[in-house]
Amino acid sequence: MSNNSLCVVGLGYIGLPTATMFAKHGFNVLGVDINENAVNLLNKGEIHIEEVGLGELTKKVVEAGNLRAATAPSFADTFIIAVPTPHHADGSANLDYVVSATRSILPFLKEDNLVIIESTIPPRTIDDVVAPILAEAGWNVGENVFLAHCPERVLPGRILIELVENTRIVGGINPLSAQKAAEVYRTFVTGEILETTAVSAEMSKLMENTYRDVNIALANELAKISERLGVNALEVIQLANHHPRVNLHLPGPGVGGHCLAVDPYFIIEKAPEQAVLISDARRINNSMPEFVVNQLEKVLSSETSKVAVLGLTYKGNIDDVRESPAMDIVQLLQQKSYNLSFHDPHVRQEQVPFTLSSFEEAVEGAECVLILTDHNEFKSLNEEAIVNTMVNPIVFDTRNCTSIENNAIKYFNYSNLFEMNKTLQEA
C-alpha cells in the first residue's frame, strides 16, 4: 500500500468526481458503493451519472490503474465519506448513510489515518455523531486518528473545474485534523483552502445554500405579487438589478436538487424558533409547484387537455431529478385528468416512473407545452412542429428560457402571468 492511498465511500454526483480527481493526481483510489451497477461500470472505465468531462477522465484513470471500485472499503491512509444525506418527512436530516459509512470503515482504520466527511450534514454532526463512533472503536480522535468535515461546493456541469478552482473549507475536530485534511486537498486544489472548526464548516456549507434559497424565495414571491397586480416581474428584476448593490434572482417553478431544497432544513431542525426567515423561504419555494399548476389551469380548455411537459431535472443540462420541482409538478398534474406527455433529453427512462417521448411525440396533439427545466435544447423550440401538430398552441415557460417568434403560439412566462387571467376570463 502506497503512502497516498485513499478510499472514497459513496460514488454519486460528488464522490465519483472526487475519487476521479484524486486518482488523476497520483492517489491510489478505491471507490466504494453499495450500487453494484455503479461499481461494475467503474471497473470497466464507465460511469453511471452525467457530468461534463467525467466519463473521459474516469476512463483514463481506471486504465492507468489509479482508480478501482468495490462494494466494501479496504485499508487506506485517507477515507472520504461522500454518501447522501436525505431528509425525513419533517425536513430533518437522515444521517443513516453517514453513520453506516463511518461504521463500515472501522475495521480498516489504523493509526494516523484521516477521516473526511464530505456529505452535507447538520451543525455538530462531526462532534456529536461521527467522532463518538470513532471513539467507541477505541480511537483518540484528533490524536491517533484525525477527523474533518470538508463540504463540497461545486456546480453540476462544472464539477471537474470547480473541484480544482473553488475555495475549499476544511473544518477539523481539532486544528491538527484540519491541517492534515488541508494537505490532502492541496494536492490538486488551486483555490484557497480555509482551515476552521468542524462546526463552522458544517454551518458555512448550509448557509451558502440557504442564502441562495432565501433569495430565490424573494424572486418567487415577487412573481406571485406581480401576477396579482398585473406587473411584469422579469422587467422589475432587470430594472432593480441596475442598482449597484442589488442582485435579484429569477423566479422559477420551485427549488430542487440535493442542496438548496434540503440544506436549510438542517439548520431549522437545530434552531427552529430562531430560523424564521429560513423557514418562510422554504414554504414559499415549496409552494411554487402548486402555483405553476394553478396558472396552467387558467389556459387549458378542459380537464382532459394534453400537456407536453418539457424537462424533469431540477436544473438545466444535467440528469439529476433529485428533489426536482418539475417532478412535484408532474405529481400534481397526475392527480388530475390531464393527458400528459414527457420529454427530457438528459433523463434516462429508468429514472422516472412514466414513459418518456421524443419532442415531436410529446407535443403532437397537445394544447400546452410546459417548460420546467432550462436545458439548452429548450432555448430554441421547433415552432413548426408546435404549430403544425398543436391546436391553438400555448407555451408556458416557467424557466424564462426560450423565445417564441411565431405569433400563432401564445407564450407565457413570468413577464406576463397576469395575461393568463385574461385568457381565463375570455374563455
Active site residues: 205, 259
Ramachandran area for residue 257 (φ above 0: left; ψ -120 to 50: alpha; else beta): left
Return the percent helix, strand and coil in the chain, to nearest 5.
40, 15, 45
In 3D space, the residue among 181, 168, 105, 169 whose CA is nearest the CA of residue 142 turns out to be 181
Q: How many CB atoms are closer than 10 A to CB 96?
A: 12
CB-based contacts of 14, cutoff 8 Å, min separation 6: 82, 118, 152, 154, 159
Q: Are strands 145-149 and 113-117 parallel, antiparallel or unpaired?
A: parallel
Q: Provide the 8-state DSSP code for 102.
A: H
Burial of 37 (C-beta count, 10 Å sphere; 0-12/13-18/19+): exposed
Which of 391-411 are b and which e, b meaning 16 or more Cβ less than 10 Å from the residue's Cβ? eebbbbbbbbbbebeeeebbb
* Dist. CA 129–CA 101, nearest whole Å: 12
**CA-wise closest residue to 188 among 20, 318, 15, 13:** 20
Sequence letter at residue 41: L
Q: How far is CA 123 from the centre of its chain?
A: 20
> Where does residue 128 rank: exposed (0-12), middle (13-18), buried (19+ CB within 10 A)?
exposed
C-beta separation of 338 from 303 below 8 A: yes
- Say how many Å lie between the first and final Cα of the chain, rounded: 74
Q: Which residues contact 161 (CB under 8 A, 6 or more apart)?
A: none
Strand bridging mode 394-397 / 368-371: parallel
What the block records as the C-alpha cell of 406 is: 411565431
Rounded-to-integer distance, Cα 344 and Cα 378, Å: 10
CA atoms in the 13 A half-sphere facing the CB of 32:
21
